Structure formats: C-alpha cells, structure tokens
C-alpha cells in the first residue's frame, strides 16, 4: 500500500434493506429519492456514498438518528454486506474476502468501541482488556503484559483487579477503549462511545481520547450526533441525512461554506470564531506585513490582536513556513458578525 492509498476507500456504496435489495438496486432509476425507495418497500440505509479515510485521520460521521451513520460504519468492517459499490481496506476489496480472512482482518486491523460498554461482569478490568488477546490464542503472560500496558495508557493503573460494577461510567468506558486498543488496531471504529456519559465525564473522555490519538496516530472513524463533539475531535466531518453524505470537509470549511440547507441548519448556531482557523482564511500567494500568526490559531484566539491591529493583510505560517496572508476584515467579520 502506497503512502497515498486511503486506509479505507468507499466508492458508490449502497446498503438497501428489503426483500430483494440487489435486484431492486439494479432496476432502480438514477436519481431515485430516499422517500421513493421507501415507498417501494425498501430502506436505503446507505445511499450512493463515496468517502475515503486516510492514515492517521479522525473522520467524524454525524447525523440524526436514522441518518445511516452506524450502518455505513458497519459496512466499512463488513458487519453488513453492501448492496452495491466497493469498499477496500488498505487496498484490499473486503467484499471479496472469504470469511476466514475477513475475521482475521477484523482481529488484526480493527478495533471497535460502542455506546454500550459490553464488559464481561464477572471478569476484572485486566481480564476484560485481555479478552480479545485470549481469543487470538496468545499465551497468558503475553496477553497480561499487553493488557497492563493499555490499562496504564487509559489511566486505570491501580484498578486492574476491579470488577465493572466497581467502576464509574467513565472508567467503564476507558476499559472498553483499552480492550479495543489491546490488539493494536490500525483502524479504530467508535460508535457514539461517550453519549451515555454525563457532560463532565464526557468532556474528560474527549480530552483523554485526543491525548491517545496524539500518541497513537490511529485511523479513526468516530460516530456522534453531537456537533460540538464533532467540532472538537474531527480532522474532517461527514454529515449524513437519509443514508447519503450531505457534505464531508474540515470543520472550518463546513461552518464557513455549508454545501446544503440541511448542513447550514446544523451549523447555524455554531460560534464560528471558535472553529475557524487562520490557515483556512489564508490566501495563498497573498502578502502581509509584520509578525505572522500560526495557521492553527482560531479567530477566537486571535480576537484581541484582530481588534487592536491595523494591518489589512496578516501573514499566516504553518510549521514556520509562510503559506499566505489572511484578510483582517474577513477574520473580524467572523468574530463580530458581518455588517448589515
């Protein structure tokens, strides 16, 4: 697999539920709507989706209940067989894999964490974390050693011998995350893993998750219906509706340039100054004067400078290299709102 090859590549994928989904898809007219498909007695869980997941990227898939986000991720791992299109993982067409090879791919490459913790109640923290290694057939010493490593990684050292009932909700979720990390997956699927937690623990888990991703650099597909959570975690966000992807882009670009009315409604209450970075506002080739700002700086973080500065164009740098300049007025419009 070359460095440019996506870890997951999903092309024109359909997942239709019904009596004869493949036959229906083959006979379906181009442009048939979600409601028309439903009127014919079928459900388009995934509707003609093309999307890639890159190495080290965190792609957040979001949408309301029934939008198709969980169905799409189950297609990525072939927990659902797709009705049409292709899905490849590290260049390998997963629909062509025999059952044995598919199981091995999941065991060796994929980690999964779900909203329900799914812990084994009569096993300790360490035994729960070591369970997938036991299923792999690893010897007791090796799996215990690896389980201890990931227990420390998620901040549960000292609680190895606790049972799930003796842990808080946040701690139980950490066990679930540790268990999925034990197999050292290259690809990590997380389906609303924090939605059952109270707000304070949820933020703590988001912080922990960002810390882990910085250390481990996994390719991650993270499902949520919470737009604030998506903005906080994502490299890119895919917003789904009725089985289709309405827009897939960086958080900055989604809030600045929503592709559809549905996406615009999703983003209308977002504080854009908290989301938009200088790098997105930078105009390549444009010249500015004076001290540059970092591409990762948010408009909110630059607020005092923007109000007090007098420059029309402000240089922007990324990794100490100038990438262009941003209009101070454009940044102020995001901070203060446009006139009129």
Q: Give the list of residues 6+ apart from residue 25 with CB closer than 8 angstroms, or none.
A: 14, 16, 83, 84
Sheet holding 313-318, edge to edge: 293-294, 313-318, 321-327
Boundaries of CATH 3.40.50.300 in the chain? 8-271
At residue 240, φ and ψ (nearest 5 deg) are -110, 150
Pairing mode, strands 187-191 and 110-114? parallel
For 138-161, write each residue's pLDDT tens digit. 889 999 999 998 898 888 899 999
The pLDDT assigned to 51 comes to 97
Which tokens belong to 97?
């894999």
59 neighbors 236 (Cβ within 8 angstroms)? yes
Higher pLDDT, 247 or 208: 247
Q: Mean pLDDT across the stretch 320-338?
A: 92
For 36-84, write each residue's pLDDT tens digit. 999 999 999 999 999 999 999 999 999 988 999 999 999 999 999 999 9
Boundaries of CATH 3.10.580.10 in the chain? 273-336
Q: Supply the DSSP string of 23-83, one letter for each residue.
A: HHHHHPPTT--HHHHHHTT-EEEEEEEEEEE-TT-EEEEE-STTSSHHHHHHHHTTSS--S
* Four-way CATH pick for 273-336: 3.20.20.70, 3.30.465.10, 3.30.300.30, 3.10.580.10: 3.10.580.10
Which tokens belong to 75?
């297609």
According to CATH, the topology of domain 8-271 is: Rossmann fold (3.40.50)
Q: pLDDT band for 340, please (50, 70, 90 cuts).
A: very low
108 neighbors 119 (Cβ within 8 angstroms)? no
Judged against a pLDDT cut of 80, whether residue 4 lies above it is answered with no
At residue 46, φ and ψ (nearest 5 deg) are -135, 130
- Residue 308 exposed, middle or buried by CB count within 10 Å (0-12, 13-18, 19+): exposed
Q: pLDDT band for 194, please (50, 70, 90 cuts).
A: confident
Q: Which residues pair with 315 in a beta bridge?
A: 325
Q: Give the residue among 6, 58, 82 at the shortest CA–CA distance from 188.
A: 58
The span from the CA of 136 to the CA of 22, in Å, is 35
Judged against a pLDDT cut of 70, whether residue 245 lies above it is answered with yes
């Amino acid at each position: 697999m070359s460095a440019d090859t996506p870890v997951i590549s999903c092309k024109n994928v359909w997942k239709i539920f019904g009596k004869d989904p493949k036959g229906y898809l083959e006979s379906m007219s181009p442009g048939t709507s979600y409601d028309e498909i439903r009127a014919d007695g079928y459900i388009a869980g995934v509707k003609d989706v093309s999307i890639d997941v890159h190495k080290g990227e965190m792609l957040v898939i979001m949408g309301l209940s029934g939008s198709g986000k969980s169905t799409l991720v189950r297609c990525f791992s072939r927990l659902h067989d797709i009705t049409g299109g292709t899905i490849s993982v590290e260049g390998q067409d997963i629909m062509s894999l025999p059952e044995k090879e598919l199981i091995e791919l999941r065991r060796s490459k994929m980690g999964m964490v779900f909203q329900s913790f799914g812990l084994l109640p009569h096993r300790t923290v360490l035994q729960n974390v070591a369970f997938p290694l036991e299923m792999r057939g690893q010897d007791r010493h090796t799996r215990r050693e690896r389980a201890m490593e990931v227990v420390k990684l998620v901040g549960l050292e000292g609680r190895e011998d606790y049972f799930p009932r003796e842990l808080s909700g946040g701690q139980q979720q950490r066990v679930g995350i540790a268990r999925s990390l034990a197999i050292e997956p290259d690809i990590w699927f997380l389906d609303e893993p924090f939605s059952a937690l109270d707000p304070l623990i949820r933020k703590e888990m988001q912080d922990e998750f960002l810390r882990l991703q910085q250390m481990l650099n996994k390719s991650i597909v993270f499902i949520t219906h919470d737009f604030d959570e998506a903005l906080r975690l994502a490299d890119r966000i895919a917003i789904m509706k009725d089985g289709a992807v309405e827009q897939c882009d960086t958080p900055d670009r989604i809030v600045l340039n929503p592709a559809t009315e549905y996406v615009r409604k999703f983003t209308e209450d977002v504080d854009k100054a908290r989301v938009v970075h200088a790098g997105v506002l930078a105009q390549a080739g444009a010249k500015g004067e004076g001290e540059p700002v970092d591409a990762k700086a948010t408009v909110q973080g630059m607020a005092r400078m923007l109000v007090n500065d007098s420059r029309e164009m402000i240089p922007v740098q990324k990794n100490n290299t100038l990438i262009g300049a941003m209009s101070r007025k454009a940044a102020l419009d995001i901070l203060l709102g446009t006139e009129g």
